[in-house]
Amino acid sequence: MPVTLKAARILITIQVAFGLVGSGLFLALFFSSFVWVYLLVLAFVAGSTALLGWLLSRWDSRRIYLRWSLVAMQVVPAGVEVVDMVLYSTVDWRSVVVGNSFGWVVVVLLLLPSAGRWFDKPRELR
């Protein structure tokens, strides 16, 4: 496995760990206030963390769909956040770049040619 993919795997693991902590915090926030909007946010955070963790567990399969699924899992939340900032007129470059820095770094690492070669192994090796 190339070093860039090892770095991407570590960053995704950190994202899953932060997602688990965030899920616990939103669960505590919901039960302390019973605001139902927090339950929706909890469902989104827990669901995306579970999906990202499941994709991370499939890493050794080296399937091409896994690579593109991981890219989508990084781009979609960043895109939703950018749309939210545009709707509320709070968008600036620092929020777009710094706020989603782990996601953007993982996307760049997964789009490198070495990642493409590693994930696209011949069929007889699958």
Contacts 24+ apart (CB under 8 A), 102-108: 102/11, 102/14, 102/15, 103/15, 103/74, 103/75, 103/77, 103/78, 104/74, 104/78, 105/8, 105/11, 106/8, 106/11, 106/12, 106/15, 106/70, 106/74, 107/71, 107/74, 107/75
Torsion sign over Cα 7, 12, 15, 21 = negative
Range of lowest pLDDT (34-43, 76-85, 106-115): 76-85
pLDDT greater than 90 at residue 51: yes
pTM for this predicted structure: 0.85
Mean per-residue pLDDT for 46-59? 93
Mean per-residue pLDDT for 77-89? 84
Look at 55 and 88; give whichever has higher pLDDT.
55
pLDDT greater than 80 at residue 123: no
**For position 15, what pLDDT does the model report?**
93
- CA 60 from chain center: how many Å? 18
